[in-house]
Amino acid sequence: MCHNVGAKAIIVSNHGGRQLDQVPATIQALPEIVEAVGNSMEVYLDGGIRYGTDVFKAIGLGAKYVFVGRAALWG
């Protein structure tokens, strides 16, 4: 639907860190979303990134960009 209205990218996010029970984490939802949009738009990931390796995982699963909001807090 986003592509049909002209969006160039989609952000997979966990709404500010408020993870709900029984809801997949952003990194778990990412592969299915990447597959669904194919090459029609870029997919960005935001949420759940604590380590540099998390960034590599997200890129490996198809994210074009990874947003890191708390890097300074993790050292």
| Under 8 Å between Cβ of 61 and 31 | yes
User: Could you give the residue numbers annotated as active site?
Assistant: 15
